[in-house]
Every structure is written in C-alpha cells, then in structure tokens.
Structure 1
Amino acid sequence: MIRIRLTADDLAGVRFAPRPAPLQELNTAFLMMGRPDDGLLFGAWRRRLARSLPATVRPLADLVPAGVAPGFLDVFDDSLSAALDRPRAWRRDLVRAELERVYACAPATTPVPVWIRALHRGDADAWRVLRRGQRAAFEVAVRPVWGVVQDLHQAEFTRYAVTAAEFGIGAALGGLVAGARLLGQVWELDAPVEQQVDVAGRGLVLAPTFHWTGHPLVCDLPALPDLPVVVTYPAGPGTPLPADGVGRAGRPGDPRAGLAGVLGRTRFELLLLLADEHTTSDLARLVGVSNATASAHTAALRGAGLITTVRAGRSVLHRRSALGDLLVRGSGHQECEEVRGL
C-alpha cells in the first residue's frame, strides 16, 4: 500500500502534468518490457523492441542491477533535451549515494562495470554514455508513438480536469486509478509495495503514463526538497501503443493523413523524424526499412526541397528544411513543433 500524506495546502495545490515526460514514458516502457508476458501482443512488442534497440542502449541495464533504479533516472521534464541533461544537474554526492544504493540491492558477486565506476567519480564521458543511451532508446521505443502519447495525455488531462471541476479534488484523486481513495488527508493507492510519503509542502504532481499497466509509481526525493512528489499512474489502453494507423494522423478526414497519402507513409514518417538530425542508417532502423530504401526516400525528399543533407565524416546527416517545416505545420501536425524542442 502506498500512503501519501497531504496537508490542506498540499491538496489545494495538486497539479496535473500539462504535457507528457519523454524519459518517464521511456522508463515505463522499459518497466513493461520486464513484466511477465501478458499475451501474444505484448510478447511480440517486447521481441520487436528488444531486436530494435541499438548497442548504445545496453549500458542502461547496468543502472538497474537488481531491478532498482537510481533516483536520477526519474526525470519529468517535458522537453527531451532538458530531460537528458537533468541527471547531470544532481549533486555529485547524491549521484554516488544512489549508485551505491542500487548496487547494494544486487547480489554481492555482481560486478560493477567500468563506466558505472566512472559515473560514480563524475566522469564526463560516463555521463555522455548515459545521455547517448537514453536518447537512442527514446528514438526507438517512444518516438514512433510520441504523437499517440500526446493525444492520450491530453485526453487524460481533460478527464481529470472535468472530474475535479465538477466533483472536487477528492473525487478526482479517488477516481484516478482503481483502488485509490482519499481518507481525510491521506491518499491511499493499492500497490504490492509499502511506501509512506509526506508531501510536506513540496507539491504533488500527477503524471499519466501509457505504456505501464502496473501499480502507481511514486517519485519521492526528500534530499531534493525543491522537487515535488510525482505520482506516475497507468492511464493507457493496456496494450502496446500503435506506431501508425492510430493517433494524430490516423483519423478519417485528418489533413495529416492526406499529407501521408501524397508523400507515402514511409516518407511522411521520415519527414516527421527529421525535425532532428539523423543519419540514413538511423532512419532505416527507426522506420524499419533497409538502408538502401531509406536512402532512396531521403533522396526524393531532398529533391523536393523538404530536407537538407550534409556530410559528416563517413555518414550523412539529414534534417527537415524550412519548406519541410512549413509543409508539416500546414498539414496541422502540431506535435512536430513540440518534437523540435525535444
């Protein structure tokens, strides 16, 4: 059971995250990968994701040697760039303490990788290993469904706001997830763990997630009193999110579906991804085509003036052009502007 103690001021100041958090959605996707198989759909999703993750993601597993993650991985910024920088803003002594805590939970024979020892020392290269791994994992696991996540988050935000406005904050908290109840100034959440949290004026933020279907997850970091307590709760459909056919560009009559029809689904997906720079091989992996096919599509987009390409060593980097930006915005694909800030 999770019990969260709130004063009257805490209750009055409960906030709902206005936008989804990229790295928290990634964290819950990884949690979901580690759950027992819930059927053919989840099994296929896990296998596909495991095959797609690049080698740069593998070091992330070293941060959870016993299934317990260090607190600096709980990041709730709604900009990917800011989220990737957030762990390094932690005080060095707190980073060390968190790494020591998670390895203390592991069997005594568990080796501590070299890069983890370097991270413990505050080595800049070790922080770059973490940042590269998180970014690569987001691109593969979350980016293809980010528009769907944004839609679902907005719908959940509206549901909560309507309930709170019509019936009050108590009803909204009590109806947030199954097994939730507000008893006086204690909010109880059913969970297979025992956790006592005292908000004590720090603030409480509610953050829905759409990959995780387990119990609510509470981020409580008393050592960082400037940070609020965050409750991440499952609000998704209970199945892996679809990467296409559902969401912003999948509705009948949506002008974005028209743009996809003109360009073709693959070129449309590439144009969305190229809000950020990517190599040809990155694009091939992200949309699930061969390098040769990705190269042919980028050549067509470049020929139409929708992307630019520059050489960087042995690779080439593609990015959406101003004309491509204009075309995407004109189609009403609003999340592309949000992705640009990631």
Structure 2
Amino acid sequence: MKDRLTDALYGLGWGAVKRLPEPVANGLGRAVADFAWSRRGKGVTRLENNLARVVPDADEARLRELSRAGMRSYLRYWMESFRLPAWSEERVREGFAAEGLHHLEDGLAAGRGVVLALPHMANWDLAGAWVTTKLGVPFTTVAERLKPETLYDRFVAYREGLGMEVLPHTGGAAFGTLARRLRDGGLVCLVADRDLSASGVPVDFFGARARMPAGPALLAVQTGALLLPVTLWYDASRTLQGRVHPPVEVPEGGTRTERTAAMTQRLADVFAAGIAEHPEDWHMLQRLWLEDLEARPEEPAGTGVPGQPGGSVAASPPVSGTASDRPGTEKS
C-alpha cells in the first residue's frame, strides 16, 4: 500500500504540477518547504546537523535560517523537476548558466570521454536537460532500482525524455557500459557525493571522514576520460547557476587503487568548496559522515535523500584495496 501511494503521489506531481502556472508552482513549493521545515522532522534535523559541519561557526539561529533556505531549495528542485517535461527548449536553454564550460567542450572536441561528477546541489536534472538541449550532447547516467517498479519506470521515462541514457544501478553492472561510452568519446554524468556501494573511498570532508563513490575516478583511470567536477547553485533569479571546474588529473605512479583514492579526495575537496559557498543548495537530508553512520548501525550507509528517488549514482565495481562500508540500496 505504501509503495502504491508513493507511486501515485509522484504521478500526481508530474501530472498536476507541470500544468500549474509557474508562479503558482513556485509558491506551492515554498509553502510545502516551509510546512516541512516547521514540523522539524528527521530530514530537517539531519540537514541542520550536516550544515553544522559545513558552517561550523553558525549559531542555532543561523542553522535554522540555513535549513529553511535549504528546504526551499530542495522543493524548488522538485517543482522544477515536475515541470521540466513541459518546458520549451527555449525555457530550458534560458534556465541554466554555466561557468568554465570550455573544460567540457574542449574535452569532447578532443575526442576524450568526459565524466561530469556532481554533488547533490540545486537541480542537476535541469543542468542535464540544458546539456542535451543547448549543447546537443547526449549523455549516460545511472539510476538505482526503486520500489515499486512503476516508480522506477517513471523516473527512467522522465530522464530519458530529457535526452539522457539511463542505466540501472545493479551491483556495478553499469560500469562496463559507462566505460564503453567513454572510450567512444561520450559523456557520463554521475552524482558522486555519497557512497551507494560496498566500495566507497574514504575521504576527508569538512574535517571528518566520509565515503564517496569510486566510480567517477576509476572510470577516468581506466578509460583515460577527463574527470570534471561540477557544482550548482540557485541565484536570486529563476536561473540555475553552475561551474565546471578544471579537470582532476590522474596522478602519475601508484596503484590503480591509490590513484583512484587520490582523485576521489580531490573531488571531495572541490565539492566541499562549492558547498561552502552555497550551503543552502546542498540537498543532503541523510547521514553522510562515518561517525554519524556508526552512531546508527541499523541505518544502511547508502540510504539516500528521502523523497528524491531515481537520481544518478556513481556506480562502480568493487575496487581492490579500498575499504568498504555497509552496503545500501537507496538513492544518493
């Protein structure tokens, strides 16, 4: 019954919200965000706990302010995502502005595959739709299977409708296909700030240990693809902002595992800088740091942001020599 209700609610969102006038949908999103924030549920309190690491000098009032802005950003993501299938190509092209785009364009022009790795910031679906619409570049991503299956099918159809190739995240089976796409000079986009597998790489993140997926770095090491971190944020306008950062280079020497670990740490550093600039747009409503996970051993390490299934994950096979965490099954 719960699965059917969840599927019905998402179906209602895509069926009804996309027909609302944009100002009405925006107002609805803010109202839902403010209501959820006022209820002080687990997601909101976890968001504040995470933000306390990002902004360590923030007092309680500042954290409350940030969490409220964070919930509004999170619901803005949902309102936009429900409406994206009805947006015109012009609206999509005008909806995103990117800095450092030459890093992506130069990599693709050189015939190298490119991996774009992102944290859970702002609206990566809109950024992806912009890439396929404005740049005319298709790309491949990964989504984990959801329950019920009809909900997973909804998310796959939604993202395929935006021009993405979506592979199922099934224990690393997608890794070979991603590698082939990159060797053919293609583009792969992966959300990569939270580990969903048993092969996450330990990283230092805002002064504490966390695990992040090995997939983006390992793909670059194995295929010679360019690894580009991307951060996203909302400004005061209705335009999503983004920055394509300089490439994370493959280190010389060392084992494959050591190179993968060093590159994943570099990704974590770039993510941290972007999140610190725009903490209200980091949609991390779940436990991330190892000491938080260890405090709740009954919670799977891969449990993702509640209410945001079907997203891209940085799939990877087990990496020899890397430490593994408790495996999880939900979306990051």
TM bin (shorter chain) = under 0.3
Q: TM-score, normalised by structure 2?
A: 0.24
Structure of higher CA gyration radius: 1
TM-score (norm 1): 0.23
